[in-house]
Amino acid sequence: MASSSSHAIITTYDVFVSFRGEDTRNNFTAFLFESLFENSIHAFKDDTHLQKGESIGIAPELLQAIQESRLFLVVFSKNYASSTWCLRELAHICNCTIEASPSRVLPIFYDVDPS
């Protein structure tokens, strides 16, 4: 008899995109979200109604969306690593993928110098 896991993973989103809004919101990620939508890929979009700021923790809606996503696209841009908010989000993504396959996280390097 095969054993079954008591931990069912609920997935609401196909993709969660982590990005620095000021760097990519009105260009690269706007086109990315449009392309995902056109291809019937359900992606969580960090809407403007969510609280923003470096001094507060990650909004509960974001934490839940991360936990309920299958794949993570992390858009590393010029100011991504200087954002405490983005780094907290990335840390939560990493924590959620420790038990799952790390291949669920795909990095995208946008307008950054590789040196």
DSSP string, 48-69: TTS---SSS---HHHHHHHHTE
Write the pLDDT tens digit of every residue in 21-79: 999 999 999 999 999 999 999 999 876 555 554 445 788 888 889 989 999 999 999 99
Strand partners for 69: 13
| CB-neighbour burial class of residue 86 (10 A; exposed 0-12, middle 13-18, buried 19+) | buried
Structure token pair of residue 96: 């959620």
Distance CA 34, CA 11 (A): 21
- Domains annotated for the chain, with CATH where assigned, are 15-109 (3.40.50.10140)
Amino acid making up residue 20? R
H or E element, residue 16: strand 13-18
**Global pTM value:** 0.81
Catalytic residue among 22, 54, 61, 89: 89
- 89 part of the active site: yes
Find where tokens 């919101």 sit.
25
Write the pLDDT tens digit of every residue in 77-102: 999 999 998 999 999 999 888 776 65
Residue 94 Cα to chain centre, angstroms: 10
For residue 51, what are the contacts with CB-CB under 8 A and spacing of at least 6? 59
